[in-house]
């Protein structure tokens, strides 16, 4: 299927690893001009540039959009993927009392305000070009509250709200906004030293490898019995930002191995 992305300009945040890297590579392979944004460099095929940015800096989103306009003439696609544990933070955290005010502020700064600022910077450029497509990467935790990572889930719930609101306001001007809600994805968040798999390993009394292969899927009641592959998220995002999805807006699409159970 031709996704009709050739020549379109895409910004992908959090593009150095995991979901963001898979998205950036996929869009580049489909012929898009990719502006990959992250704190660490990344190499991509095709017409792509890396913009080093810390999205905790309120001025960074506007600089990223300005660079996209300078390099490629505009912005057609924005994938707000940056998020998860803020720099220096290890998740999961267990229980509501585990996070203090500073933890909540940092979590919202990284997972919500960076998204808000990127949208604020990109939408006027998209409108001037006749429209565009935004995908915000949220989390199944936004719709499945529990006593783990409460601040993270709350921030992602707010991301879902923002996406719906912006899709309603700017839909008539050609800007589509959708949300992807992954379940547990096999990324650095889980696999790195000191990451989620090791934290859960210490609680569950299982090896890191067993946590990834069995304990976590069982704990989160994943129907597929495994963590999600980042490429599965990237493929869905590529379709959502494509003109092939021209009537899809305001949608929250779970890709979570069956994590969410409600109707």
Specify the DSSP element, H or E, that contains 252.
Answer: strand 252-255
Evaluate whether 186 touches 234 at the Cβ level (below 8 Å). Answer: no
Return d(Cα 114, Cα 90) in angstroms, integer. 19
- The counts of H helices and E strands in the chain are 10, 7
User: Of the listed 72, 108, 110, 152, which one is catalytic?
Assistant: 152
By the 8 A CB rule, do 153 and 141 touch? yes
Task: Please tell me the distance from the alpha carbon of residue 14 to that of residue 169, in angstroms, as a whole number.
Answer: 26
Please confirm, yes or no, whether 152 is among the known catalytic residues.
yes
Active site residues: 152
């Amino acid at each position: 299927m031709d996704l009709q992305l050739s020549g379109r300009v895409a910004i992908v945040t959090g593009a150095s690893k995991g979901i963001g890297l898979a998205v950036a590579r996929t869009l580049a392979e489909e012929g898009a001009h990719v502006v990959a944004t992250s704190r660490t460099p990344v190499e991509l095929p095709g017409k792509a540039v890396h913009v080093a940015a810390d999205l905790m800096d309120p001025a960074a989103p506007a600089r990223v959009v300005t660079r996209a306009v300078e390099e490629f003439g505009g912005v057609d696609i924005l994938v707000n993927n940056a998020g998860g544990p803020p720099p220096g933070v290890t998740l999961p955290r267990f229980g509501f009392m585990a996070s203090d005010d500073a933890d909540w502020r940092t979590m919202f700064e990284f997972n919500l305000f960076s998204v808000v600022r990127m949208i604020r910077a990109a939408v006027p450029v998209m409108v001037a070009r006749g429209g565009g497509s935004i995908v915000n990467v949220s989390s199944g935790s936004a719709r499945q509250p529990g006593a783990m990572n409460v601040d993270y889930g709350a921030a992602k719930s707010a991301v879902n709200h923002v996406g719906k609101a912006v899709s309603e306001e700017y839909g008539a001007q050609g800007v589509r906004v959708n949300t992807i809600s992954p379940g547990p994805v096999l990324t650095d968040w889980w696999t790195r030293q000191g990451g989620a798999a090791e934290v859960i390993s210490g609680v569950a009394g299982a090896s890191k490898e067993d946590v990834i292969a069995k304990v976590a899927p069982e704990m989160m009641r994943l129907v597929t019995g495994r963590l999600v592959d980042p490429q599965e998220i990237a493929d869905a995002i590529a379709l959502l930002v494509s003109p092939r999805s021209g009537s899809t807006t305001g949608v929250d699409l779970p890709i979570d191995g069956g994590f969410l159970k409600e109707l």
